[in-house]
Each structure stands twice: as C-alpha cells, then as structure tokens.
Structure 1
C-alpha cells in the first residue's frame, strides 16, 4: 500500500501517543520519527512506568506503542493492564524476530498493529496509518453517537413538552383554565362506589344575552370570572369543572359539606359581585343550579340535569333545585304514559306524517337532499319527535314508525331523481323482515337505492354483543343504499369502525354546532372530526345550523353540508325539483 506522507500526517497530527521502549538509543531514534507524525508523544522506559503514565492520563492516549521484552513489567503485562482499564485502547506492538511467543500472545490479546525490529520506516508508516485510521473511525462513530444521543434527548424533551401540551389540551378548558368534562367523566368512571357523592350542575342564566349584547371576548372573560369566583367560594375538598358551554360542575362529599349551604352562599355572592364592567357599567349574572346526591356515579349528571331543568322551569333566575327521586319518577312516568297513549292514537288515526328538511351544499348553497322527519298532526299543531320518540320505543312501536316513514317518504319521491335520508334504529335492523320490506317498497315505488341514505346512531356500530344489525347494514350497502352516522361525537365510536362499515356521511351532533361561532372548544372538535373524515373520504353534515354566523363557521372549518332552521324548517312537502 502506497501512502503519502501528507495523507498520513492528516490522520496522525491530532493524536496523542504513549511510546514505551527500554532501549534508550532505539527509543530516541524512534521518537525522532514519531515527532514528525504525532501532535503529542509521552515516553516510558518500561511497562511499570508506562502503566503509571497511562493511569495518570487515563483515556487521553489515542495510541499506545510498546515494546514486548522489557524489565520490571513486560509489554504483554502492560497490554493486559491497559485493556482492563480500556478494552478498546488501540495498541501497536514493537517486536523482535526472536519474540515469537510474545508476538502470538499479542495477537490473542487483539493488538491492532505490529512493527518489527529493526524498525523499517515504510512498515512504520503503514502500521501507523492503519491504526490511526481505526482511531479516526472510532472517533467519528463516537462523535456521531454523541450527536445521535443529543438528538434523541432533544426529541425526548420535545415529546415531553408535546405530551404536556396535549394533556393540557385534552384536560384543561382553554377559557376558564378549569379541568374539563373529560376529567369529570374520568373521575365519575373511576370513583369507588363506597359512599354517596353530591353533584351541583350550574348554568349561567340567559348567557346567550351576554354573547349577543357584548363581545365574545367579554363573554369568555365572564366565563373565566365565573370559574374564578366559584373557586373562591369553594373549599379544597371540592372538585370544580367547566362542563359544557355555560355550565359548571361541582362534586363533593355530602358528609363533609352541606349542598344547600354551598348553593345559598354562591347565589348570594353572585348577586352582590359583578363579573366585570362594560362601558363603565358593572355587569351582574345569576346562575341556576341542579343538585343531586347518589351512590352510583352514573346517576349524578342525569339527575342533576333533571333538577336543573325543574329549577329553570320556574321562570325565575338564580334558583337551585334538589333532585327528588320519588317526585321525579312519578312525574316522568305520568308524562311517558300520556305520550304512549297519544302516539298509539296518532298511529291509528294516520296522523303521523313525514316532513322534509333540506340539506344544503355549503359550497353552492343548493339543496342536495332532504332528511325525512316524523311529525304528528294534532288539531293544527305539529308535534316534533322530541315528545313522542321515547313513547314509541317504550310501547314497542319504533319499527312500526320506521316502516310508516319509509312507506310515505318512498311514495313522496316515487320515480323522482331526488336524494333523501331516513332514520333507522337498532330495533329495525334486528327485525328479520326489515330487508324484505325495504326491497318490496323500493320496487313498488321505483326508488333508486343510491338516492337513499339511512341514518343510524353510534350505539349500533359500537355494540359487540349482537352482530345482526351490523350484518344487515352490510346488506343495505350491498343493495346500493348509503349510510350516515347521526349525532357523531355524542358517543364512543371510532373512525376504524366507520371505515370498516362503509359509512358514507358523518352528521356532527348538534350540541357541537350550537354557538360554534363563539365556542372555541366546539370549533376544535368539529375541525378535528372534519379533518379525519376528509382523510377517509367521508363528507360531513352539520345539523341544527340556526344562524348565519354558525353557517359561516362550519363552512370555514371545512364542513361540506349543513341543515337547520337557518335554511328551512322541516317542510310538509319538499321544494320542487326539476326532472
């Protein structure tokens, strides 16, 4: 191998060498050669002196060059001691021809290079070049390893920061800086049911007035102040959350704190304390409150919601109401019994009719389809499903209602090239005759399945206990019908199931559309759903769009379609379409 001196010098000049030789003349002559190659050379006259130097400058020698046959400590003993300290130390052995036994042992000890006595300059250059190349390679690897480790540390720090950011995003409300509904649900899900809890559900009275009269910034500041004032009035044993929109939840142990005392104290505080000023005038608010106590955490929020509703029904602000199991049960039972009877009579009298609400293409403003919605006609009054759907379920007539709506809607759109959607339920999909009924109706009314979308709720696709509904949904898809998931975001379904099922549209739950132009959390939720849906090529429909501001916001967030009272209330007859 032909090596230029300049190439060799480029490798060796930064290196530090320990040279060990007991022959004074040979040592001086060799050092004279080595000084032209290496940046720094330390010399020793025997193995013992060399080991002391090595220990003193531990880790600082790039190469050790040593004779083998030396007094006090020979070269092999020196090599063994050095390798105990640093197993990867590059070593060159200087050996005479008659030191075969030492030479072979040095091979067994992984020595990196050999120079024969008398020293030949060309051989010296070749050996030094080889070992110096090894040193450079190891240094570069070590440098790369350090850089890699630094990058890993940077990534770990970044991940830790992002993890903290994501955790705060998921658990801390942006406006009030309080823990959010996710943390509340987790608390209730993991609470050990060994004693009762009390929950207080607070709602700001007429908060929409603040939003409409003052700026949204002022409304956000008001929410922050409400959270701050609630914390001020509560002890450390109490858990406080911003629950939803203008609602706050307080949870505590009723054995430690009296709920009515808390309610009275908070009412009095807000009655006397403004939450801010607008144009120099103090602004006051009031809060209504529903209180519920139960040992089963799953009952707390529903019961508090009932109590809050009753408090607000009094028509007087700043009221609290305690959930009474006996009274609420009797009232609810009486109402449900009345509606079951009304629904049965409406079915018998054929007073259940479809109304048609347009679904709008947000980009063009044109009607692309209609949702067929059940209504009861009662002496000129049009009754919405909110009153009778639960009655239909409890009376076992839900499937009858679906079939009636399919029959009348198919008749309305018979032979027309108009798209429309209908709601179907788990009960319909469990019915073995449902598919046969559908086939008969589409043939009878000349309905093209690709124009019909069936809207389902999330509970159908998240259930793993019964596969019949899912199997029937796949049959509907094979027949050419489209599927839309209604009220998306209100339950626990995931996008993987939607994709596997072949869902064609997502309809975002109306609770996230209401006041979306002013509620940042709702904007974040809708934007996240829309972004993921686009990746799966699932168009998104926003329900309950009531104002121009809400419509502009859902368009801005990438939602493709909208329906709601901003465009049209449900119509008795669909707007005429050209054939």
Structure 2
C-alpha cells in the first residue's frame, strides 16, 4: 500500500515521458522538436537511436516511478527491429501506448506488433503532423484514463483488504489468504485474539484513546512475534495471527505474550491500561478462521487459560450460530404469525381457585413450541421484542374476550413504554375487544431500567389512569430498589422464583420473601409468588400472607385455559 502511494507521489513531481526511437538522427531530432512544441509544457521528450538504448531509458524511468505513457518507434533499425522492441515493452508494461512510425515496415511486422504488442496505431512516413499530434494526444488521454481507473481500483482494493485505522490487512484479506492456502492444501496455524477490555476503555475514555491503546498493543504483538506470523486486524477488538512455524513454538510464543500482557501496562494519554485478551487457536487445512474463532469464544469463558486450542466438540457450543438460528426462527415466526400465547394459571390463595392467567409468548414451528428462555434475549438484541408485545396483547385480548370471568397479564418491555402513544393504543384494543381495563395487568420485567426516563414513567401513569394494573415481574433481583417502587407504584409485585423454590428448606429465602411481602403490603401492592413447583412451597408462601401463587404446582403453561386443573393436579 505504501509502495503504490510513493509511486504516485513521484509521478506528481516528475513530468511523464514520451519516448521516441529511430535510427535516423535527423528524423529523430525533427520529431522531438515537433512534439516539444505540442507537449513540451507537460511532458519530457526522450530519444533513443536503437532498441537497446530505448530499453535502458524505459527501465530507468520505470524504476524511478515516472510514467512513460507513449513510445513511438521506427520499425527498420539495426539489430532489434521495432516490432520486437514493442513486444518486449508490452510484456514489461502492457499499459504503455505503442505507436509504429515508419515507411518501410512490412505487413508481417505490423501484424506482429498488432497481435503481440497491442499496437495503438501505425503511421506511415512521411506522416501528417496534425494526424500525428492528434494520435499522440488521444493515446495520452487513453493511458491516463486507464491509470486513473487502476489507481481507483487500487484504492477500493485497499479499502476492501486493509483496516482503515491501522493499515493492517483485514478479515477479507485473511479469508483470501486462507482460501489460497486451502487450494494449495497448505496447513497453517491461526490465532484469533479478542481484546476483552476494548468496550470498557472506549466507554470510559472514548474511541481516540482506545485507538492509541490498540495501536501500541498491535506494535507490541508484531514486535514480539517477529517473523513467526502475519498480523491481521479483523474488527475493532479482534486481531489474528497466521503462522507457518512449528505449532509448539507458536503456542509457546502466544503463552509468553499473554504473560507479558499481564505483567506490563500500555501507556496512553498519561494513563496506564492493562489489556485483557482471549486467544483461540486452530491448525488445519480448511475452516481455519471459523475454528479459531470458536476456540476464542471458549477461551473467553475460561480466562485462567493462556489460550484455547480448537476441538470439534466445540462446534456444539457455537453461540453465534445458535443465535443466528434462533434469530431466523423468531423473525420467521413473527412474519408468519406463529408467535402465540400460552396461559399459566395464577391461584388466588383466599378464594382458593385460579382467577388470573399470565400470557406467555411462544414460538410455534410445526409441532415444536419454543419458550421465551430460548429467544427472549435475541428478541431484545435485535429489537424484534417491539413486535412481540403488540402481537401478544392483540392475541391475548382476543382470547380472553371470550372469558370475562378471568383477568390476565401480558409482559411488556422498556422499549414498549418508551413508545409515544402506547397507552392510547392499549386502550383502543381493549375497547375493540370489549375487555375492561381492570382485567389487564401489564408486567414490567425487573431487568428493565426504564432508561427512557420520563417517557416510560408517563406511559405507566397513563396506563394506570386508564384502569390497567401494573406488576413488577421477577422482583428481588437485578434492578430492585425502593426508588423504583416509588416511580412505578405497582399494583402487584411478583417475587422471583429464586426465592420461592425450596423456600421451606432454607431460612434466608423464607425471611427475604417475608420481608418483601410485608413491604409490598405497606405500599398497597399485592404479592404473587412465582415458581411454586410443589406443595411445600405452596403451603409455605401462604403462611406469609402472599395473595397469589403461580407455578407448575398450580398449572403448566398451556395453549388453552380449559380444563382448568385443580390446585396441585
């Protein structure tokens, strides 16, 4: 890349050269004077009296990086003939425009030059001056147009194959090199290195500082490896080293470099940074990047290891591929209308019967039904969760419009609360299906932070004013705090299953659940105990004054609410 840039710079400070070759000195001088008048301000005019001299002149300019766009050559010369010289020039620099100017050339010589030297034009002696000047001018224009295209293609190629920030070959460059090695059946070793500290550095100090840390890291890695491997910058936080040295030696170098990183700091803008990395290594004939990346992902889960070497058993744990598959399933389900509600009963401990149902999203694919555990995180990261909530509310309202004796709840997310007009849309759907607002509870996940600020809180207020109930789901974990309770003022608090499962066996969850229940009652909220899986949990939470129970002991999620099971069936 730098070599191309240097060549272009030299061309800018030196005039391009038009080379004239003729053994008749008078003709050569006359032609030179004629061309100097026409092109002398922009081009240097060089002359040679024989083919060998012309070749030496040409090589000298090429070596200096100076353009020789046009060569005008006589055919009949002592020693090497004109057509032979032009063919030789063509093999050296096929982009040079070659013009034969002679009065004695045979048809064979002209044909030879046309076929083997890509002759631009043949002019007979004596030539027409205007015709000659026009021919040369068009040849120059043609040459530099092609040069511009070539340089543009080179720039595009550099963009495609080199990282813009560091100038190192990138992922596309690595893939091409690996494909070439696979075609040659050439076994190589590849290390993929992810800088785990990149996100925190960027977050706290900005991209500029991270780039300084990154560049020093790359310089250190390159210096440490020496000729043992070729360095690639794949992504902002991911680099790779392709090596042909002995595997054991390469592994030793990686271990030594990892130890070096732990013992030394990188200085940037007066701050010392420790760079944490995960290293995955693979050695094979094909699929090398994929395998090394899988190993790197495993290394991220095993930080105590210096690096992880790929094994075929790791394929089953390729979370990227798993997420891609789930993402496609979720996308297809939304488009095909295959997101469906499943219903789980909520038992009223005072009335001793199921009076409510939670509507749980499921993906249906043929006979297979997938629970939210498998896709909810993907729905969040892709933004598809914004599409799930309207689908679930619509289908749940339609279903329970047939069963006015029951209340029901639907999960909503932070992104739903941030939507302007969300409360108005909910009310319009309630009116459409003839469902009174007090039958609908909207459950806010405790993991949501309401980063939307006032917009999210305003939406909650509008929903409550309309008559809908608000519940905090999975209470007791993640973002639980008293400020949150004051902001939301919930009607229900659903205590997370971590506290309920085995509550009869351990003192701590019993005391914590008791305290959360008392607190909820003091602020006027009712309590729902989640994950009631057995009679022991059921009996224990009832002694604490918990109003509702939900879990497999009460009812497993089902596509229909009837027949409603008796508690514990």
TM-score, normalized by the shorter chain, greater than 0.5: no
Larger radius of gyration: 1
TM-score calculated relative to the size of structure 1: 0.43
TM-score calculated relative to the size of structure 2: 0.44
